Structure 1
């Protein structure tokens, strides 16, 4: 998915205010989303949780859009024409609906609920995403992963994976990246990562063992979920710093609740992130934009897409500065 904002801001991170919590319990910071229109005149609204001023990354996860459930007849669905990426991997995970993916590797894939599509756009790739004609409701998340310096110019790649469902007491878990609840995804990432969909039965309590070296984010899709000592509402993301060896989640409602758990060790490198590009300095972004606007071989061509490409927005009248998180306490 593209970042559809026409006036793309280079954000700088602020600091957290730590609240009261039981002794020994991990801190949970609540990040709220902002709505961003995706597409043309009948734009589909997405809820963007990452990046924001309070937090840029969770592990190497650097971008999180959460959308739906949208009635396609009303919203027009998803229609993202060919657009570029550098220095990152895109992770598409649907709860419902179907999206047609095409890229400049020649991939033509249908993204369905419960199936992972992961695309690597290191040195450069372009892709399109369009909800299929049979899709009535579109609902899911689009996530990006920053590539570390040694791999940020890696070759284009695409992986598809259908994770096995793990049935736990009061919960169902699908692990699409990393390891959790006795399941491990075979999908390659360039830093240690965790990505999993968790569905909690009404009033269920779930405690999961997690890696103490990871920071974690729990993005709630539906229901009210208590993470440690903090209740998260739909579209909120709860951030937990490294150090926790377990995470306890409680469904506070009488209906099933769903969330996506993300994790990874803190990403130590500074990144410059603007529009659909990730680099290490302002010049990387300028070069990537120039190459895209010039239809460079760097990004390739999607031959069979009916329509034009997505033009890049104008660069800001300032040097784009690196993004960093507040210090971990």
Structure 2
């Protein structure tokens, strides 16, 4: 049998495998028998007069998807001649209010505003840029780019150009223009995956210096299923994990970005479990980042994120959130992850 350049048996040209589809599940699902008028009335009564019936507010917000919440807000305005957001601002406070208001923002616009927040003011939240730009599908990223320019009158690329630098900036700009392979569905070309792993080895550990352009090209264009096979082949070729190579061959924001992409390739629930843990561990909680991840994954794969979180840290996600938050804010987050759903 022929061997590949690294000494392992070569794969037959065009070897294809079918990867089993992994079903993902959100903790916020479409409300059956949806009635926007009833939901709007429930919210209005919960906030009318002195005091707020927070259990009712939380119940409505977490029993409806983002799309349904948009309809509720529209009916609320038509029925009561006032913005739902304005009443929430008046009646709620702190991060409880931040979370409730964020739940009413259309999902694409929410990503756009989070990207802007990551870049405005002193310093840049590089990890948030990586999280949003690399975890969203190509079609979603195109919508984000268009909405960003419409919202701020400047392109996302222009803001990234001015707020980041060096190889990290090149990576982000490459991602904005790359079209990740999402057309082949569950088919993975093993020969190509092994060749990509060899290319990454040659671009990093196999030479003096690192060819970041090769890393960028592969990490921005290959499907995540394909990248997962690259990770497996890389270990066969080098004898260690791809993450070890990234840590030894790169540094700073670029290293963190590459590690984030590799983590996503291992599984986005795995990646987001790691993200949430970073937000809640240690002194202080990175609340706005925690809110973003809980909201954006609540309709996508929060069930799997909770499973991964407990596997990684031997504690439930609900327990970690309970330890680091309090009051109605805590109850709203717990409801969003499918714990203590309030009526």
Structure 2 length normalisation: TM-score? 0.24
Higher percent of residues as strand: 1
Higher percent of residues as helix: 2
Structure 1 length normalisation: TM-score? 0.24
Q: Answer 1 or 2: higher relative contact order, Cα 8 Å, separation at least 6.
A: 2
